[in-house]
Amino acid sequence: MSQPCSISTPKTLDAERTAHRILALLLPYRRTLERDTHLDTTDAFPEQLKQLGEFIRNGEQVIFSVPGFPCKSPNPDKVFNHLPDQGERLALRSLHSLCLEIEKVYAPGARLLICSDGHIFGDVIGVPDEHIDAYGDELRAMIRTEGLSDHLGTFDLRDVYGPDLSYDEKRRTAAENLGPSVEELKAEVRSNESTLRMYRGITRFLMEDTSGWQGSRSALQRESRRRAYEVILRSRAWSELIAECYPRNVRLSIHPQNRGEVKFGIRLLEAGDAWMTPWHSVPLLRTDGTWELMHRHEARKRGREVYRDGRPSHFVAVGDAVRRAS
């Protein structure tokens, strides 16, 4: 018996074309460790085309969700302090600009939900909850004062499991009910190159961010490896929690992602390291007027510190004319 013929309607074809156009806007922002990005085409990302298509076929605003903007690194050699600075401001503007670009090719437009993951693993990375709260509150204020609220929103652990549970109780609830087991994650690290790179990258971050360590470097490395597994487990639990709360959202990641992954890796700002983010660095305004993220101790060698609203904001390259970053 012959199979029924599947015929694409004009509406379906138009939705597919629009999904490809939106994805083409995302490609320049792509964050990956793959070296052959010159071969990137929209057809290489079927998962993202599918996610976009579900919104487009219904004529709905496309909603993206991206875990990130957790808190500042506790290492003062990397960042100014525990509050957002010009790096976060520039990253928010970049995400907002992406939404505006999408609006030009798809009238209902796009909105991006920043799913701040600081509380889910703050105890593992040594950042107190009050610092994470202050970072999140300032991030929300930054979105408002920059006039980005129409396209950017936020979500964090304060928004789930009700108001009566403590952060420790919420973390425990998420870890016990969501994400893989330690044994499953270790097996994945052994068998999956992408997961192995993430594990090594987080181990490196944890080693760099640990202050006041009294033991040997080898002992610090062992402890950082142990905590890296915990950070990934908590992050996976957080991703599943986001997916439960927002199952249809197009899923982005600030970590490098390969083609074919469920998430699309997105670059917030230019940096020499594919793993660099505004919360692990400070921004430097270069002499050509462009911005670059780097660790604070490196920025000190290349520029002078600039304050905004009474707080350190960024560095300006030495020799540059005096500028005011708006």
Q: What is the pLDDT of residues 88-112, one digit of tens each?
A: 999 999 999 999 999 999 999 999 9
Structural domain contains residue 64: yes
Pair of tokens at residue 212: 């006041």
The pLDDT, as a whole number, for residue 10 is 54
Structural domain contains residue 3: no
In total, how many domains does the chain have?
1
Pair of tokens at residue 183: 């044994």
Bridge-partner residues for 294, per DSSP? 282
d(CA 121, CA 152): 23
Structural domain contains residue 238: yes
Structural domain contains residue 162: yes
Structural domain contains residue 209: yes
Structural domain contains residue 2: no
Look at the alpha carbons of 229, 298, 126, 314 in this order and tell me if their dihedral is positive or negative. negative
Structural domain contains residue 5: no
The pLDDT, as a whole number, for residue 325 is 46
Q: What range does the domain containing 79 cover?
A: 12-317
In the three-class reduction of DSSP (H, G, I as helix; E, B as strand; rest coil), residue 130 is classed as helix
The pLDDT, as a whole number, for residue 322 is 43
Residues of the chain with pLDDT under 70: 1-12, 37-38, 272, 319-326
Structural domain contains residue 294: yes
Strand stretches in 234-294, DSSP E: 250-253, 264-265, 282-285, 291-294
